[in-house]
């Protein structure tokens, strides 16, 4: 199966990114043909602050978290510019209404993030990312499902006109993960400033975790765990008996949310230990990261070129 995922270099990666998409991709590498890219053009839609630094950082983080350039095709979006040409071509197969209904755009504008054309047409570029590489499966968080559906709609319209050229992608959402809550209980998002970073300093991590919004319950009282933001983050790092033990602590009472927060910080620190070590290596060897990205772009272009050639031909752009 051909699996593709992208991530925006729009800030420090957070645990929602990890469980919603990166981990699924790392796991998929064993048995699939995997494509992973840093979506730097996409990051421009929300300001593109410190873009070049964040691009290298995202690449470093991806490698540390287990993207294996031997197994995956791993590149930076802007290094394979064919995607921009496809984006334009697909724009003519994208009804305005399809984009006007996009939740992600509506959510961002509702939060006061100024709307520009790129934020609005983002799903078309995302469709180009997916369709250029003939992706069959796209692992995403719940927030991105609609964008995959938009990509399918666009591909269907294109294929109706020109024949079976584009592969219709399917989304894959990890049921247990879906949407990781942020410290305010809303969807954890880089652009909402409510994240718990994967690679923060230990003290800062704890400080952030201490800010997680919880319900006010007296120390001795039992506490709800299903609806608790701290529990819903902690459960991502726990399995089996450890998870049940945490549930018991909630049910029993006698401990406050402060205790659960300290526990969350500990399990999280342990979980990412090995990744932190790997990250340090890549941080000290940024030239190696650049070489990996360059080789990855060449690999990605080898797939993109025949596809865009075929599309140029059928659409008559080639003359
Ligand atoms: P931004 O605020 O800039 O949109 P983001 O934090 O939403 O950033 P993206 O780069 O848009 O991150 O998303 C990368 C991947 O991470 C996508 O597959 C997305 O579905 C997933 N993802 C993002 N946030 C969460 C979350 N809170 N829970 C689960 N998955 C998530
Ligand atoms: Mg997002």
Confidence class for position 191, pLDDT limits 50, 70, 90: confident
Q: Based on C-alpha coordinates, what's the Rg of the chain? A: 21
pLDDT at 175: 77
Q: Are residues 40 and 121 in the same domain?
A: yes
Distance 46 CA to ligand 2 centre (A): 10
pLDDT at 213: 97
By residue range, what is the domain housing residue 168? 2-179+285-315
What gap in Å lies between CA 78 and CA 149, rounded to an integer? 24
Distance 304 CA to ligand 2 centre (A): 25
Check if the beta carbon of residue 148 is closer than 8 Å to that of residue 139. no
Atom 20 (ligand 1) nearest CA: 141
User: For the segment 158-168, what is each residue's pLDDT rounded down to a tens digit?
Assistant: 999 999 999 99
Q: Which residue of 21, 119, 174 sits with most ligand 1 atoms within 8 Å of its CB, as the best mutation to test the pocket?
A: 21
Atom 13 (ligand 1) nearest CA: 7
Q: CA 85 → CA 4, 80, 88, 91, 145, distances in Å? A: 19, 10, 5, 10, 24
Distance 254 CA to ligand 2 centre (A): 38
What gap in Å lies between CA 23 and CA 290, rounded to an integer? 22
User: For the segment 228-258, what is each residue's pLDDT rounded down to a tens digit?
Assistant: 999 999 999 999 999 999 999 999 999 999 9
Identify the CATH number of the domain in which residue 243 sits. Answer: 1.10.240.10
pLDDT at 165: 98
**Structure token pair of residue 114:** 């100024």
Atom 26 (ligand 1) nearest CA: 16
Q: Are residues 252 and 110 in the same domain?
A: no
Atom 25 (ligand 1) nearest CA: 16
pLDDT at 301: 98
What gap in Å lies between CA 56 and CA 293, rounded to an integer? 10
Ligand that comes closest to the CA of residue 17? 1
Ligand 1 environment, Cβ below 6 A: 7-8, 10, 16-17, 20-21, 46, 140-141, 143-144, 177, 179-180, 187-191
Q: Are residues 175 and 214 in the same domain?
A: no
Q: Are residues 109 and 242 in the same domain?
A: no
Domain membership flag for residue 250: yes
Q: Are residues 252 and 299 in the same domain?
A: no
pLDDT at 112: 84
Domain membership flag for residue 189: no
pLDDT at 295: 98
User: For the segment 123-167, what is each residue's pLDDT rounded down to a tens digit?
Assistant: 999 999 999 999 999 988 888 999 999 999 999 999 999 999 999
Ligand that comes closest to the CA of residue 148? 1
- Does residue 176 have a pLDDT over 90? no
User: For the segment 18-62, what is each residue's pLDDT rounded down to a tens digit?
Assistant: 998 899 899 999 999 999 999 999 999 877 789 999 999 999 999
Confidence class for position 220, pLDDT limits 50, 70, 90: very high
- Overall number of domains in the chain: 2
Q: Are residues 303 and 155 in the same domain?
A: yes
3-state DSSP helix/strand/coil % of the chain, to nearest 5:
60, 10, 35
What gap in Å lies between CA 250 and CA 229, rounded to an integer? 13
Q: How far is CA 198 from the centre of its chain?
A: 13
User: For the segment 252-310, what is each residue's pLDDT rounded down to a tens digit?
Assistant: 999 999 999 999 999 999 999 999 999 999 999 999 999 999 999 999 999 999 999 99
- Which ligand 1 atom lies nearest to the CA of residue 181? 27
- Which ligand 1 atom lies nearest to the CA of residue 188? 27
pLDDT at 284: 98
pLDDT at 267: 97
pLDDT at 115: 82
Identify the CATH number of the domain in which residue 146 sits. Answer: 3.40.50.620
Distance 22 CA to ligand 2 centre (A): 13
The mean-pLDDT minimum among 9-18, 90-99, 103-112, 216-225 falls in 103-112
User: For the segment 59-110, what is each residue's pLDDT rounded down to a tens digit?
Assistant: 999 999 999 999 999 999 999 999 999 999 999 999 999 999 998 888 888 8
Q: Are residues 225 and 296 in the same domain?
A: no
Check if the beta carbon of residue 197 is closer than 8 Å to that of residue 12. yes
More confident call, 132 vs 174: 132
């Amino acid at each position: 199966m051909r699996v593709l995922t992208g991530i925006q270099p729009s800030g420090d990666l957070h645990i929602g990114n990890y469980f919603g998409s990166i981990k699924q991709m790392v796991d998929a590498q064993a048995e699939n043909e995997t494509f992973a890219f840093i979506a730097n053009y996409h990051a421009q839609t929300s300001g593109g602050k410190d873009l070049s630094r964040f691009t290298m950082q995202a690449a470093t983080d991806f490698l540390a978290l287990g993207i294996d350039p031997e197994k995956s095709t791993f590149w930076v979006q802007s290094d394979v510019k064919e995607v921009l040409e496809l984006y334009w071509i697909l724009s003519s197969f994208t009804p305005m209404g399809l984009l006007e209904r996009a939740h992600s755009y509506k959510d961002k504008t509702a939060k006061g993030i100024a709307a520009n054309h790129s934020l609005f047409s983002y799903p078309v570029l995302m469709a180009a990312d997916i369709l250029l590489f003939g992706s069959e499966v796209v692992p995403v968080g719940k927030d991105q499902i609609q964008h995959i559906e938009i990509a399918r709609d666009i591909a269907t319209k294109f294929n109706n006109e020109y024949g079976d050229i584009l592969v219709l992608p399917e989304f894959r959402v990890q049921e247990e993960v879906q949407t990781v809550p942020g410290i305010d209980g809303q969807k954890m998002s880089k652009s909402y400033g409510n994240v718990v970073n994967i690679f923060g300093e230990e003290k800062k991590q704890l400080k952030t975790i201490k800010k997680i919004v919880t319900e006010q319950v007296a120390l001795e009282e039992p506490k709800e765990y299903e609806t608790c933001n701290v529990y819903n983050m902690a459960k991502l790092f726990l399995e089996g008996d450890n998870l049940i033990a945490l549930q018991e602590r909630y049910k029993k009472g006698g401990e406050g949310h402060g205790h659960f927060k300290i526990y969350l910080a500990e399990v999280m620190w342990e979980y990412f230990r090995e990744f932190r070590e790997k990250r340090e290596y890549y941080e000290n060897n940024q030239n190696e990261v650049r070489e990996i990205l360059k080789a990855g772009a060449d690999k990605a272009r080898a797939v993109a070129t025949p596809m865009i050639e075929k599309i140029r031909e059928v659409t008559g752009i080639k003359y």
